[in-house]
Chains A and B, each alone.
Chain A
Amino acid sequence: MIQFIHVYKAYSPAHYVLQDLCLQIDPGEFVFLIGPSGVGKTTFFKLIYREELPNKGEILVAGFNLKVLPASKLPYLRQKIGIVFQDFKLLPELNVYENIALGLQILGYPVAYIKQKTCELSEKLDLERKLNSKVGTLSTGEKQRVVIARALAHQPPILLADEPTSNLDARRSLVVIDLFRELNSQGSVVIFATHNRDLTNLVPKARIMELREGAIQERK
């Protein structure tokens, strides 16, 4: 599903965030990407959804070779990926409902389905009373849950979650991880990036990748 072949990534010359990265993630895997902040977790995700291109090496995602992917096909790569952005990236002009529904709108789902899916997720994430609020008025934790709902709504084959529970209490974090596991059980790849190693205990079968000094080490 995701393949990195000798990938190098640097933002400034000579300082590599990722160095000679080789890895393969298969459908149905639940992966924790752990490492302290600043180590390159977000960069790793950006390479997957092709916001950044590697300086060297090749990346294959969901059958697309990102190196030769034309701009016109980029949306179809991204439609296969659900992203919980670390910085949320919500549309302030829209309300909670519209933000959650946005991904489904983009994929052209019928209105009734969008409504059902959005309400279902907002209920699970405790957002149903906020559906009509503009996202600007929400607390950080609420915003984070909106982003999670938006990323899950279209049941993407790949879910990239960048510190998705950083602003949530323990109870809500558990709910979120359960939602991720539910998606994962249907065959989707879930990559959960966090600096909090303790979270890995919540998903016993998960694969754990530790990012350190530009390289990935697998942990049991």
Chain B
Amino acid sequence: MLSFWLKKTWHNIRNNLGPQLGCLLTITLALGTFGMFILLGINFVQEVKQWQRKIPIIVFFNTAEQAQLAKEKIEKRNQISHVNYVSPKQSLLRLKKWLKDKEILLEGIDDNTLLPSLEIGLKTEFYNLNFLTTFAHSLKKMPGVVEVVYPSQLFLLAVKGWKFFQILLFLIGIFLSIATIFIVSNFVYLHFQKKKEEIAIMRLLGATEGFIRMPFFIEGILQGFIASLLSVFILWLFAHWFNRQIAEASLHFKLSFLNLKQTLGFIVFGSILGYLGSFLGTKK
């Protein structure tokens, strides 16, 4: 029976090549757009995570002794990846470097006005808002601490940005999935209508609805499968091109591609959409 269905599908595709390709291209476009958003989303998350790692918690102390004392204490905590002491002198040098052309702003500031500080880096897994907040509070209570600066605002912004992006991704995903299902179902419906006479004969011979619809299901699944495969390939080409032409020339940002699991997931997802489309398209 399977060989019969496959043969039938092959016949169906060959005899309907034009619309077949039209449908394929349209859903490739839809799936490709969706894939592009996923790609951007994945890179966004990665970028935010790396970013976080680079932003330390900075604790200002009254005196260098207090800072050194605190450093020893803090280093013992196991959430910490590193603690650096930054002397007022080093701070001044850094400021000068940052404000290269605008040294006027630094007038009146010398290493006596600046405070000694500690730069604390956390292990990656502790970079969440909860821990940051409680940790900052405990730091504030240490003797000699003047001010604790930690990336809470930034962090919140990133989290918010990511949440917003997720919602956007979700909505776009739903919209494009529905569009894909709609296109496939419409296409399969037309194809089904075209074969009406043949289907009527199959019914007279005792074919069940499942038997009759199976080649159309296979067709829909194939459409989804090939379209998602194509769009993954196109996205890969895009990422490759982006990294070669743009990333190297200007930005320090490299687009990373979907991993194997994500790629397979995307293709399976596309095939399921194709199946759903053909399921709806063959329903009376």
Contacts and interface: CB of A to CB of B under 8 A. Distances in A.
Interface of A: 49, 51, 72, 74-81, 83, 85, 89-91, 93-94, 98, 102-103, 105-108, 111, 150
A106 B202 CA distance: 8
A105 B1 contact: yes
Contacts of A76: 206
Interface residues of B, number: 17
14 contacts: A72-B209, A75-B206, A75-B208, A77-B206, A78-B203, A78-B204, A79-B206, A93-B15, A102-B202, A102-B205, A103-B206, A106-B202, A108-B1, A111-B3
Given A91-B198, A93-B11, A93-B15, A49 B204 contact: yes
B282 to A, nearest CB: 15
Chain B interface secondary structure, helix, strand, loop or mixed? helix
Contacts of B1: 105, 108
B17 to A, nearest CB: 14
B233 interface: no
Contacts of A90: 201
B210 to A, nearest CB: 9
In order of increasing CB-CB distance, the 3 nearest A-B pairs are: A78-B206, A79-B206, A75-B208
Quick one: which of B206, B207, B209 has the most chain A CB within 10 A? B206
A154 to B, nearest CB: 9
Contacts of B211: 75, 106
A90 B201 CA distance: 8
A93 B198 contact: yes
B204 A83 contact: yes
A103 B207 CA distance: 8
B284 to A, nearest CB: 10
Nearest to A71: B209
A94 B208 CA distance: 19
